[in-house]
Amino acid sequence: MPLTAEERETFKRDGAVIRRGLVSTELARRATLLIETWYRDHLKADEVPAYNQRTFAPELGSHPDILALYGETDAVKLAGDLLGDTSPVTTAQIQIRVPETEFPGVQPEKAMHVDGVSCPHLDPQELRTFSLLVGVVLSDVTSAQDGALHYQPGGHHTMADWFGTAWSLGMTEQVPPEVDREQGVPLLGAPGDVLLMHHLVPHSVGRNFTPFPRVMAYFRISHPDHPRRRLEALRDPWLDYPSMTFIPQPVVDKE
């Protein structure tokens, strides 16, 4: 099912929409089993910080059962509805919030940020931006204390203004102070729920106080023209979203 008119308005206002149960139970189960096996057999406490900056289970990022969470679901159509055209997706980022009971203190809260801009582990002059984040929930997240992603609805407008007026390439600040002070809205959901979020929406991630790992699979979707206009896309939130800015022209009666 394509984006509804209401979802389009929500995305334009909030920069995010959630489709509940978009990924089938079977696809979610297969992906979760892979990640759970990797978690049980390979994860060590001293490796969590490095994985946290990039991706957990890096060897699974291109596994067919992981890529199917996006490529074999209507998430592809929804991304196309928003961006008009998309570049191929060949890998996923797997993010796990480990339980504090099992790994105490090794995974602090992530501060508010926009992906790929002024990341602490990157050169401040380097941009690794994209157009749209597609996040697939693979664990039950019933509370903000479950290691939930927190996002700021409408923050894409604030960030675009900041990038266009107060920010310059090379700065180490990830967000303006007023954004950094906000806690955001926790993404709560069940396996198979999907978040579609504008790249410019600032977000953070909380600590996980449950006994179980919280797992998400993320797909970074780009408009094909994004790589050559990264700076412009930071300042114009709809540059990569032609379907969101198209205004039908009135029909002229020639009679």
Domains and CATH numbers, the chain: 14-238 (2.60.120.620)
Contact by Cβ (8 Å): 132, 197: yes
pLDDT confidence bin for 246, thresholds 50/70/90: low
Position with higher pLDDT, 121 vs 178: 178
pLDDT value for 124: 79
Residue 245 has pLDDT above 80, yes or no: no
Average the pLDDT over 15-31 and give the result. Answer: 98
Average the pLDDT over 240-244 and give the result. Answer: 92
pLDDT value for 121: 76
Residue 247 has pLDDT above 60, yes or no: no
Among 55, 219, 200, 203, CA closest to 121: 55
Residue 254 has pLDDT above 50, yes or no: no
**Percent of the chain residues past pLDDT 70, beyond the cut:** 96
153-158: long-range contacts (C-beta < 8 A, 24 or more apart)?
153/13, 153/14, 153/15, 153/16, 153/185, 153/201, 154/13, 154/14, 154/15, 155/15, 155/179, 155/182, 155/200, 155/201, 155/202, 156/15, 156/198, 156/199, 156/200, 156/201, 156/237, 157/15, 157/237, 158/202
pLDDT value for 252: 47
- The residues pairing with 93 across neighbouring beta strands, listed in sequence order, are 218
pLDDT value for 244: 85
Contact by Cβ (8 Å): 206, 145: yes
Whole-prediction pTM value? 0.94
Backbone angles phi, psi at 137, to 5 degrees: -75, 130
Query: Could you report the per-residue pLDDT of 222-233, keeping only the tens digit for each?
Result: 999 999 999 999
pLDDT value for 214: 98
54-61: long-range contacts (C-beta < 8 A, 24 or more apart)?
54/93, 54/121, 55/92, 55/93, 55/94, 55/95, 56/94, 56/95, 56/96, 57/94, 57/96, 60/34, 60/35, 60/94, 61/91, 61/92, 61/93, 61/94
**Percent of the chain residues past pLDDT 90, beyond the cut:** 90
